[in-house]
Amino acid sequence: MSLTFIDLFAGIGGFRMGMERAGHKCLGYVEIDKFARKSYEAIHNTKGEWTAHDITTVTDDDLRLLRGQVDVICGGFPCQAFSIAGKRLGFAETRGTLFFEIARLAKEIQPQYLFLENVKGLLNHDGGNTFRTILSTLDELGYDAEWQVLNSKDYGVPQNRERVFIIGHLRGRSRREVFPIRRSYETAGVQRVGNINPSGNGMNGNVYSLDGLSPTLTTNKGEGLKIVQPVLTPDRAEKRQNGRRIKEPGEPMFTLTSQDRHGVLIREATKKGYAEAEIGDSINYSVPNSKTRRGRVGKGIAQTLDTACNQAIIENKPPYRIRRLTPKECWRLQGFPDWAFDRAREVNSDSQLYKQAGNSVTVPVIRAIAEKLV
């Protein structure tokens, strides 16, 4: 059965794309960021739909006109107030109080379902009081809530992104439970992001060029901050290449063969002091000289995208540089098709496209949940 929905805090339309792929129909959207609206309207056919820029300015009378027409209210309400990456101010911050705007819309429209998303940190924010307040509010509005933490990596995209999803069921109207949802795919490899180089060279595989010469890797052709120790690491002592001596900048790398394990040493605050990154791994290069950070290397998977998208990979071609993920690759990590990115790129800068990818929900996760709403 097809359901109708409105898309709150719409961003670039990750909720919408997932819902539509599950067969549901969008009636309208709300988005205050002018750049995100440009992308949204370039990607989606919004002609004739109800829309608003600022959810706080929509009157109760206007909302009541939607009663009986809307089956689902969708919303990834702003997460910065509850995120581990932010200051976790919760309802003390304006963005945190936007949840109560969702509650206001639910009260006036009375949809069959509420379909909400936020960071995993919402569950334990303020010792769990924030989440209890949300559940209590939904209960007062007549909604029974269920929730589950899902990871994007289990739904066909190579990104380690945990988010809590909440389904509110209007008592007397809503049907069966949606959760738990099982993973849809085995964890995907970073090669799923693809390689947009014109040469078409893939990003999978673990063998370097057999001529064995490679400069020390830096972020961009030797310029800027180094995020790695000079390179590298033959495993086999019998190769008689000074064991694990780290090469210095400018020295040729040890000759490598397909039998060697090799990669790049990324500084981390661990007992070893580093992690090894190989082709197919991702590298978080934010605060590159920090001595306190760990978890910089994602083994065969990207770390959680944020609005800066400080993710990089090792190029599988000479000179084997570390390069930042492109905006298109970041959009792919959120499950968007290339045609959607191409439309957004016509109306927005790369900096905005990175930000929009980091703020989005992951399309295949939304679809998996949306398919269980019917």
Q: Report the catalytic residues.
A: 79
The two three-digit tokens of residue 229, written as one number:
């120790």
Can you tell me whether residue 39 is helix, strand or coil? helix
Q: How far is CA 132 from CA 90, 111, 142, in A?
A: 13, 22, 15
Residue 256 preceded by cis peptide, ω within 30: no
Q: Is the dihedral of CA 76, 77, 80, 82 positive or negative?
A: negative
Q: Is 179 exposed, middle or buried (0-12, 13-18, 19+ CB in 10 A)?
A: middle
The secondary structure of 328-348 as a DSSP string is HHHHHHTT--HHHHHHHHTTS
Please say whether the beta carbons of 159 and 313 come within 8 A: no
**Cα pseudo-dihedral 75, 13, 26, 342, rounded to 10:** 180
Helices 34-43 & 350-359, crossing angle to 10 degrees? 80
Long-range contacts of range 47-54, CB-CB < 8 Å, 24 or more positions apart? 50/6, 52/28, 54/30
**Alpha-carbon gap, residue 204 to 278, rounded angstroms:** 10
Locate tokens 């849809």: which residue? 184
Please say whether the beta carbons of 88 and 47 come within 8 A: no
